[in-house]
């Protein structure tokens, strides 16, 4: 049995797309007896339109 699946990366172009990906991940995880701990989840926003580099 797989008890933990760490370091999953989701890449989305919009907030709506990220929500859809998270919902899909949650459904697939639950189907295999896994759960997502959102208190351990981090989101990084990269905005190329406001890139100051």
Domain that holds residue 26: 1-53
Please report the pLDDT score of residue 1 as a whole number: 55
pTM (predicted TM-score): 0.71
C-alpha 33/C-alpha 23 separation (Å) is 15
DSSP string, 1-53: ------------SSHHHHHHHHHHHHHHHHHTT----GGG-------GGG---
Q: What pLDDT, in 10s, does the model give residues 25-46? A: 999 989 988 888 889 888 888 8
Domain count across the chain: 1
């Amino acid at each position: 049995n797989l008890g933990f699946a760490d370091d999953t990366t989701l890449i989305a172009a919009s907030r709506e797309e990220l929500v859809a990906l998270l919902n899909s991940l949650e459904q697939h995880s639950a189907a295999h007896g896994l759960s997502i701990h959102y208190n351990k989840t981090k989101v990084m926003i990269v905005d190329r339109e406001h890139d100051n580099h």
